[in-house]
Each structure stands twice: as structure tokens, then as C-alpha cells.
Structure 1
Amino acid sequence: MSRALRQFFRIPPTALLGMAVVLGYAVVALFAHWIAPFGESEIVSSQYDPWGGAFLLGTDNIGRDMFSRLIYGARNTIGIALLITALSFSVGGLLGLFAAVRGGWVDMVLSWIVDILMAIPQLIYALLLLTIFGTSIPVLIAVVAVLDSTRVFRLARSVGMNVVVLDFVEAARLRGESLWWIVRREVLPNVLPPLIAEFGVRFCFVFLFISALSFLGIGIQPPLADWGSMVRDNATLITFGDVTPVLPGLAIAILTVAVNFVVDWVLGKASGAKS
């Protein structure tokens, strides 16, 4: 126990703050149904009611409680972003390590496909594919996960190439171990620290990307609450000096900064850097 406490007190204050914020967001996302005073799409009053009284942060453009929508937005935006990031790492990470270990024409073909997908900006690809296939949640998850997996592939392949040339990997090849065994037992454990840190970074990018798509109207669709669409729906208030449209953007910014604090600490530990 004393050793665990010593390790805990060695964590930088910024990382502790980031962990606390991320934990707070996770609690709000998981228990949104019990925390929110009103339903996600429930119309409770007239449009643009001021702050105070029964409506802590007023109401939106059609009379829904802004505070409740912010809470449900945490569940929807964070949950979908986390699912997309996990899926993109499962696909891009495994394919990147497979390309690094296998080499040859397999590595060449996979790298060509990734280069083609990365040649056009991600937002343009997403706009095109979501316009063609629709904006349902499964389609949104699949499209963004595939596009984001290209970035994960490049990183996994890069760090994997540094490992596959080491002696213990060559010894595993000579023993006749299967390709999957080498990836799972020899390569993956040695590339986990940078991949874990990259997971946090990619989550932030996906999180911001989904919010941008929702702001443009092709992300998470109504009546589901989403922070990006909440900024768009209430943007009119900015012309009257009302800061309500800023709140969803502030929620996005705080979570992004908190995750980056934690990622910086993880990268420092992985590289052996001293605080």
C-alpha cells in the first residue's frame, strides 16, 4: 500500500487534474439519465428562456432544458467517440503490426491503400461518404473509424518496424512460430506504451471531429443531444451577448485539455523522462 501511495504522489498535478476531470465526465456520461433534471428531447418551456429558476442554464431554440442537454451530450458524444477510437485501433493497429511483421507485398499494398485514403482531407471524405450512405449512428461510427484507422496504421507500422528487426523476433521466426503469435506475444507488448498514449490523442481528434460533423449537420442527428449540434442550434444567441452557445464548446475544450494532460504523463513514463 505504501508503495502504491508513493507512486500516486509522484504523479504530476496536471495529470491528476486531468484524471479527475476525465473521471467526472465519465460519471456524468454513465449516469446521465439520473443526473439530468429533464428528458433528453423533452420540451419543457418556450424557446430561449433565461438562466435561473427551474432551468439552470435556460432553454434552447425549441424549449429544451440546456443543462439536461449538456449532460446527455456527454453520454452521446463521448460514448460514440470512445467506440470509434476503440474500433479504429482494433483495425488500424492490428493491420499496422501485421504489415510490419509480414513485410513484402502485403506491407506495400496496405501502405498504398492507407496513402490513398490519407491523400484527401478526412473531413471531405467523411462529408462524401456520409452524404452517400446516410447519417445513422452505425454508418457514422463505421465511416469515421475507417478513416481514423489510417492514422493508427501508420503509427503501429512505424513502431512495429523498429521491433521486428530485433533478435528475439528473429528467434521466434526460426522456432516456426505463427505470424499471429509473433504479433501478439513479441511485437505488441513492446509497442503498447506509444499506442496507449496515441489512443488518448486519437480520442481527442475523433471527439472534436464528431462535434465538427454535428455542427455541420451530418454527425449525431436530432433528437439526440450532441455538443457540436448544440452550438449550431443556439448560435443566434451570440448576437445578443448570451454565452449559452459557448457552453458546449467549453465542455469540449475542457475534456480535450484534460485528456492531453493524462497523455503527456503517459508519454513521459513510457519514455523514461523525469518530471
Structure 2
Amino acid sequence: MSEVVTPEIVEDVAALGRRARRRQPTLVLGIALTALIAVIALVSLVWLPYPLSELGGGRLSPPSAAHLLGTDRLGRDLLSQLMVGARIALVVGLGAVLISGILGTLIGVLTALARPWLDDTLSAALDVVIAFPVLLLAMLVVAVQGPSLWSAILAIGLAMSAVVARLSRILARRVLQEQFVTAARTSGASTWAVVRDHVLPNIAPTLMVSLALQFGVAVLAEASLSYLGLGAPPPNASWGRLLQEAQGTVLTAPVGAIAPGIAVIVLVLGVNFLADGLRDLTDPTRRRAR
């Protein structure tokens, strides 16, 4: 028997179409902005307008055909440094997100599986760690390890893992209370099987959105560390270090400060738009609200 198409059904279909069109621009814009920085970073692996160590461009030269963004106070090409900075930002962001994702998810799931007294203790410890800003915790780790690119990645990843752990714990506890988990345990499934087959697949979509947001936090943290001299040391051309070097000449050569600032904004906005679009796609409550 065929189903009768009522006006209510037509309206529901039309509403779904309108919501999809409203979601698409945010996701597409996020992908486009993030992909732009990713392409620049990939190109920097095989081609740069000038070597980073070349000083023959003249000090603080304005943008020209030879140097599209001009040069810095040492005569180095700013476009070349900006391209390498894109690579460093992506490497730090991906590395920090990978560390925080693995470590945070592991701690969060184990906390959710722990006994109530241990769960409460670990949750309180996570709250204490989260109370400290990511940049402050990263500075402490870098101070112990010494400034380097890998120290920045490790420091930012460890600092962000507490946020991921807390979210993982909340999500895992919700899943563990579902009836299908109770049925799996009743049927003899081990704890590892429950985590692998039920917990991780159900918390993964929300964690992906959170990690996308954490990527933007990692980029800002790396730029801040480099600005303070605690990030990747020269000759690595971090965007934060470019901002620090250009602050003394911002009035005479503003491009040196504007260009890396815009680059940071583009990448952070891109991953935030991407996270917002992913949240719309994975969260049914937000889809109904819209």
C-alpha cells in the first residue's frame, strides 16, 4: 500500500532542505579556509620564493614584484616565511590534537569505567587542570623541556588533553548507561568489547567536533609560545615569531605584522567553521532546533 503524501510531509521535506542549505555555507567555508592554508603548507615543502636564509632583499622593503609581501628587518622574504609558518601551524595543530585526542580519550574512558570513588577523584583532578589556561600549562612544559617545535607540540597536546578527557568521560558514562550496553554485558561481552563496539563509535562524532575546536586552540597557543620565544626557534618561521619580530616596525612596515596576523585568523576561523558544520551534521538536536 502506497503512502499518502500529506502537506505535513511536504513541509517537513522542505524544512530539511532549508536546514541543509543553511548548514552548507558554514561547512564549505570552513573547508575552504582550512584547505587554503593546507595547500600553502604543502607547496612550501617543494617550493619557496626565496630560501629562508637569504638576506638579499633589502631591509623592510615594501611589497613588490620581486617580494610580494616585502621583506623583514633582516632582508628576508616575508612570503617565504609565511608559507613555512603555515606548515609549522598545521604540524603543531595536528600533533597536539593527536596527543590530546589519544591521551584524553584514554583517560576519559578509563575514568568512566572506574569505581565511583575513583571516578570522582579523577574528575576533580581534571577540573583542577582545566582551571589553568592551556597557554600557562604549555609554558610550564616548555620551560622543563626547552623551547623547540616538538616541545611545543607535546606541551600543547598535554595541556589540552584534560579538556578532551573530561568530555570523553561524560560521553562514555552516558553510553555505558544505555540499554544496549547492558544487553551486551548480559550476553557476556568483555569490557574491552563494550568500549570497542559501543562506547568509542558513539562518542567519536562529538569528539571529532571538540578536536576540531582544539585544533584552533593549539594554533593560537603555538603562536603565543613563539611570540614569547618559547616556540620553534629560528630558522623556523612561526607566525608568532613573525609577529614578535614585526612589532618594532609595525608603523614603518605594517605588512610584516598584518600578514601573519591574517594567516592566524584565517586558519582559526576555518577550523572553527569546520567544527560548527560538523556539529550541525552530527548533532540531531541542533538539526531539529534549526
TM-score calculated relative to the size of structure 1: 0.90
- Which of 8, 17, 39 is the matching residue for 2:29? 17
- The farther-off stretch of 46-55 and 100-109 is 100-109
- Report sequence identity in percent: 34
Read off the aligned partner of 1:28 and give its amino acid letter: I
Distance 1:154 1:177 in 2: 26
Q: Tell whether the 8 Å contact from 1:98 to 1:183 is kept in structure 2 after alignment.
A: no
SS in 2 for 1:267: helix
Distance 1:107 1:138 in 2: 32
Match of 2:146 in 1: 134
Distance 2:212 2:56 in 1: 37
Q: Would the alpha carbon gap of residues 80 and 20 (structure 1) be closer, same or farther in structure 2, given more than 3 Å must change?
A: same
Match of 1:150 in 2: 162
CA displacement, residues 84-132 of structure 1 (integer Å, 9 cap, x when unaligned): 1111101101221222133434423432432332343332222233222
SS in 2 for 1:239: coil
Q: Tell whether the 8 Å contact from 1:102 to 1:179 is kept in structure 2 after alignment.
A: no
- Which of 84, 89, 110 is the matching residue for 2:96? 84
CA displacement, residues 148-183 of structure 1 (integer Å, 9 cap, x when unaligned): 100000111111111110111122222332322211
Match of 1:230 in 2: 242
CA displacement, residues 19-78 of structure 1 (integer Å, 9 cap, x when unaligned): 122122111112213342112333232321121031111111211100011011101111
Q: Which has the larger radius of gyration?
A: 2
Read off the aligned partner of 1:41 and give its amino acid letter: S
Q: Tell whether the 8 Å contact from 2:134 to 2:221 is kept in structure 1 after alignment.
A: no
Tell me how many residue pairs correspond in the alignment. 268
In the alignment, structure 1 segments of 5+ residues that lack a partner are 1-5
Q: Tell whether the 8 Å contact from 1:164 to 1:187 is kept in structure 2 after alignment.
A: yes
Q: Would the alpha carbon gap of residues 123 and 260 (structure 1) be closer, same or farther in structure 2, given more than 3 Å must change?
A: closer
Match of 1:101 in 2: 113
* RMSD, aligned CA: 2.0
Q: Which runs of 4+ in 1 moved over 4 A?
A: none
In the alignment, structure 2 segments of 5+ residues that lack a partner are 1-16
- The farther-off stretch of 250-259 and 96-105 is 96-105
The answer to whether structure 1 residue 245 and structure 2 residue 254 are counterparts is no
Distance 2:241 2:156 in 1: 17
Shift of 1:241: 6.3
Q: Tell whether the 8 Å contact from 1:41 to 1:224 is kept in structure 2 after alignment.
A: no
SS in 1 for 2:180: helix
